[in-house]
A and B are shown apart, each in its own frame.
Chain A
């Protein structure tokens, strides 16, 4: 009897040791060596905020034998789904959107597989500049697929009608240009979304950088509450733009997509903060009534073209993914130069691979010519020290307070003081 008991105890102990060893051996990657894995017949789910041309996906399926289902959901909803599913440690998809702003929080939570050791080393090296936005704790968590940043778009026909030959380079030149555009019959020349959304708060971030400032110092101390700061002047600019009738009163409820729609419909002459991908849509006769008059322009600044910031988006593999090898194959296929070119022309996604961007710029494939590559020279990260894990809380508070200030519910001073207090609390937590 004693021997039997001892046997049971030692078996349980061995099992426990094995389990602990398995759990303690670090995060299990779940990737098989490339030459020892068959992904044929697998089906992967991809969660993205943008449509992917169906023929491209069919091409991948033909080539790899992997069926792909793309679940297209709005950007905000993608984030919510990822947060809920990952917190519950349940499967959400095999490949998902990974925005630059997710990095701090998602990396700290350990929800995603690091990709630097999983993807082809040549691809990782080619993406290294854009992928810096996805680095945290010595790992890279996504492969950048959309080299998004902010630049301005303008309606060249409206500019010519107003007697303007070029886009303002400074904020000092912007005022007289607005006066001329209004005089030529454009009721509200400047398009700036100011709704209580991520798209509505992005112009404030951009204006802060364009006016020569930063949101935080290197220790995440807020720099925008002082009336002389760029952040304060940026919000003051938005309020004044509304008062002067440069921006339509309805902008206080607009997100970035409706603001672009109004630009494409000819309601505004300038879209102050646009994604470069919007340019091809604005010049598409099927989707825009101002085509082919949309032109890109460098974001104005204090003394010349201003600083702008990057908002790269990547593809990433959650730790809960069911088919990680197929997910890897999908990302590597997506990053091929030929695929990236099609995605740029058909879906407006500017590639992140340095070699591909250079090649497209040299061959004249980039819409907008040199302006896009010139603007890239002014791109800086919004958080040079890396997106903090509390970015989403800061941003969501900023959305409400910036919106309250432009609506006149709060003064600029009160809104930014409250935001600074929240940021200080978050940074200290």
Chain B
């Protein structure tokens, strides 16, 4: 119906003919019905997403901490400047970038290995897939608690094992130094997200026709060249999706850090800083400003991947 409407001749005025008027009426009716159909979704989205976003943005432009009885006033982008210039804010951004870079790299590399290994049909593949999905099925707080038992300096599994192997003589505090703490927290995060990334890539691999590989084998392509020139390019869309999912999850990392290292300064992410500013300090204006910065960064990453995906398709 839509194409009929598009193809019809433009109305030039004068007396309208019978069929043309019928088309007009039908088009109007279709538009009305269409608007009516999408109205609930638009209203719900506006109420639950756009209104809070707009209110939140307006809050981030005001000063005056109403939570302690202050009077709000307009300060423009002042709150954004404050959070970006604070040392804890800058550290949180740096930590988040490290989490994202490490997590996405590891997830993609390990995800590809897992996907290629599990793409082949073998006995017990179903069981392996079921086990693979387990860490993803666990809530991140639960996996954080499990890993805390591993990293606990006094009675943790890791120190006990190393002590039994005579590799350490006294307990090592794994989450004390900034560098190692960031690495260990990222590993716990990757442990949880890797199954999802692997499944996305497995689905991508299964969509590549076997004939392509057969034809290339006839042409003398080695498995490595097949991977480089067939698998990777054809897996592009799946990789883009996996990158987007991995990046968004890494940007909003919170539970693992909170459970493993509390609000320690050496591992705080942006989202943790947002939580601390907003709910612990009850400083809603700065907390909301920081949350908007996080939103913009997330959208930016998603847009970059979307553009890259579009280019790879063309």
Q: Is B171 in the interface zone, CB < 8 Å from A?
A: yes
Per-residue CB contact flags for chain B residues 125-148 toward chain A (1 = under 8 Å, else 0) read 000000000000000000000000
Name B146-194 residues within 8 Å CB distance of A. Answer: 152-154, 170-173, 175-178
Contact partner of A389 (CB less than 8 A), chosen from B68, B171, B262, B284, is B68
Inter-chain CA distance A389–B282, complex, in Å, is: 11
Residues on B with C-beta less than 8 A from A110 are 69
Q: Is B20 in the interface zone, CB < 8 Å from A?
A: no
Inter-chain CA distance A4–B162, complex, in Å, is: 90
Inter-chain CA distance A403–B176, complex, in Å, is: 10
- Contact A396/B276 with A196-B261, A408-B176 known, Cβ cut-off 8 Å: yes
Residues on B with C-beta less than 8 A from A401 are 265
Q: Is B283 in the interface zone, CB < 8 Å from A?
A: yes
Residues on B with C-beta less than 8 A from A248 are 153-154, 171
Inter-chain CA distance A200–B172, complex, in Å, is: 20
Per-residue CB contact flags for chain B residues 268-302 toward chain A (1 = under 8 Å, else 0) read 10000000100111111000000000000000000
Q: Is B66 in the interface zone, CB < 8 Å from A?
A: yes
Residues on B with C-beta less than 8 A from A389 are 68-69
Q: Is B47 in the interface zone, CB < 8 Å from A?
A: no
Residues on B with C-beta less than 8 A from A79 are 279-280
Residue of A nearest to B284 (CB): A87
Residues on B with C-beta less than 8 A from A267 are 154
Closest chain-B Cβ to A290's Cβ sits at a distance in Å of 16
CB of B279 within 8 A of CB of A253, answer no
Per-residue CB contact flags for chain B residues 46-88 toward chain A (1 = under 8 Å, else 0) read 0000000000000000000011110000000000000000011
Q: Is A219 in the interface zone, CB < 8 Å from B?
A: no
CB of B173 within 8 A of CB of A108, answer no
Residues on A with C-beta less than 8 A from B265 are 196, 400-401, 403-404, 409
Residues on A with C-beta less than 8 A from B231 are none
Inter-chain CA distance A137–B313, complex, in Å, is: 67
CB of B171 within 8 A of CB of A392, answer no
Q: Is B226 in the interface zone, CB < 8 Å from A?
A: no
Contact partner of B266 (CB less than 8 A), chosen from A86, A250, A407, is A407
CB of B262 within 8 A of CB of A392, answer no
Q: Is B264 in the interface zone, CB < 8 Å from A?
A: yes
Closest chain-A Cβ to B164's Cβ sits at a distance in Å of 17
Residues on B with C-beta less than 8 A from A358 are none
CB of A87 within 8 A of CB of B153, answer no
CB of B171 within 8 A of CB of A195, answer no
Residue of A nearest to B178 (CB): A409
Inter-chain CA distance A252–B173, complex, in Å, is: 8
- Contact A255/B153 with A108-B68, A249-B173, A392-B280 known, Cβ cut-off 8 Å: no
Residue of B nearest to A110 (CB): B69
Most buried by B among A105, A262, A399, A407: A407
Q: Is A109 in the interface zone, CB < 8 Å from B?
A: yes
Residues on B with C-beta less than 8 A from A253 are 153, 173, 175-176, 261-262, 264
Per-residue CB contact flags for chain A residues 53-97 toward chain B (1 = under 8 Å, else 0) read 000000000000000000000001001100110110000000000
Residues on A with C-beta less than 8 A from B262 are 195-197, 200, 253, 255, 399, 403
Q: Is B216 in the interface zone, CB < 8 Å from A?
A: no
CB of A396 within 8 A of CB of B281, answer yes
Inter-chain CA distance A252–B177, complex, in Å, is: 11
Residue of B nearest to A86 (CB): B67
Q: Is B105 in the interface zone, CB < 8 Å from A?
A: no
Q: Is A393 in the interface zone, CB < 8 Å from B?
A: yes
Inter-chain CA distance A262–B156, complex, in Å, is: 13
Inter-chain CA distance A79–B266, complex, in Å, is: 24
Closest chain-A Cβ to B90's Cβ sits at a distance in Å of 14
- Contact A404/B280 with A109-B68, A249-B173, A253-B153 known, Cβ cut-off 8 Å: no
Per-residue CB contact flags for chain A residues 368-398 toward chain B (1 = under 8 Å, else 0) read 0000000000000000000001101100100
| Chain A, interface residues (CB within 8 Å), range | 35 or more
CB of A392 within 8 A of CB of B282, answer yes
Specify the main secondary structure of chain A where it touches its partner.
Answer: helix
CB of A409 within 8 A of CB of B154, answer no
CB of B171 within 8 A of CB of A83, answer no
Closest chain-B Cβ to A3's Cβ sits at a distance in Å of 41
Inter-chain CA distance A389–B192, complex, in Å, is: 40
Residues on A with C-beta less than 8 A from B67 are 83, 86-87, 105, 109
Residues on A with C-beta less than 8 A from B284 are 87
CB of B153 within 8 A of CB of A250, answer yes
Most buried by B among A249, A250, A262, A392: A250
Closest chain-B Cβ to A303's Cβ sits at a distance in Å of 34
CB of B266 within 8 A of CB of A404, answer yes
Residues on B with C-beta less than 8 A from A409 are 177-178, 265-266
Contact partner of A393 (CB less than 8 A), chosen from B69, B261, B281, is B281
Inter-chain CA distance A418–B265, complex, in Å, is: 13
Residue of B nearest to A408 (CB): B176
Closest chain-A Cβ to B137's Cβ sits at a distance in Å of 24
Closest chain-A Cβ to B243's Cβ sits at a distance in Å of 32
Residues on A with C-beta less than 8 A from B263 are 196-197, 396, 399-400
Name B241-268 residues within 8 Å CB distance of A. Answer: 261-266, 268
Closest chain-A Cβ to B182's Cβ sits at a distance in Å of 12
Residue of A nearest to B265 (CB): A400
Closest chain-A Cβ to B289's Cβ sits at a distance in Å of 16
Inter-chain CA distance A193–B66, complex, in Å, is: 34
Most buried by A among B69, B175, B177, B276: B69
Inter-chain CA distance A400–B92, complex, in Å, is: 13
Residues on B with C-beta less than 8 A from A250 are 152-154, 171, 173
Residues on B with C-beta less than 8 A from A403 are 262, 264-265
Residues on B with C-beta less than 8 A from A200 are 262
Residues on B with C-beta less than 8 A from A418 are 87
Closest chain-B Cβ to A106's Cβ sits at a distance in Å of 9
Inter-chain CA distance A252–B178, complex, in Å, is: 13
Residue of A nearest to B281 (CB): A393
Inter-chain CA distance A418–B262, complex, in Å, is: 20
Closest chain-A Cβ to B255's Cβ sits at a distance in Å of 14
Residues on B with C-beta less than 8 A from A105 are 67-68, 282
**What are 29 A-to-B residue pairs whose CB atoms are below 8 Å?**
A84-B279, A87-B67, A87-B282, A108-B69, A109-B67, A110-B69, A196-B261, A196-B263, A196-B265, A197-B263, A249-B170, A249-B171, A250-B173, A252-B173, A255-B262, A267-B154, A392-B280, A393-B281, A393-B283, A396-B276, A403-B262, A403-B264, A404-B265, A407-B173, A407-B176, A409-B177, A409-B178, A409-B266, A418-B87
Known: A83-B279, A408-B176. 13 other contacts (CB 8 A): A86-B67, A108-B69, A196-B261, A196-B264, A197-B262, A248-B171, A249-B171, A392-B282, A396-B276, A404-B264, A404-B266, A407-B173, A409-B266
Q: Which 5 A-B pairs have the closest CB atoms?
A: A250-B153, A196-B264, A108-B69, A400-B265, A250-B154
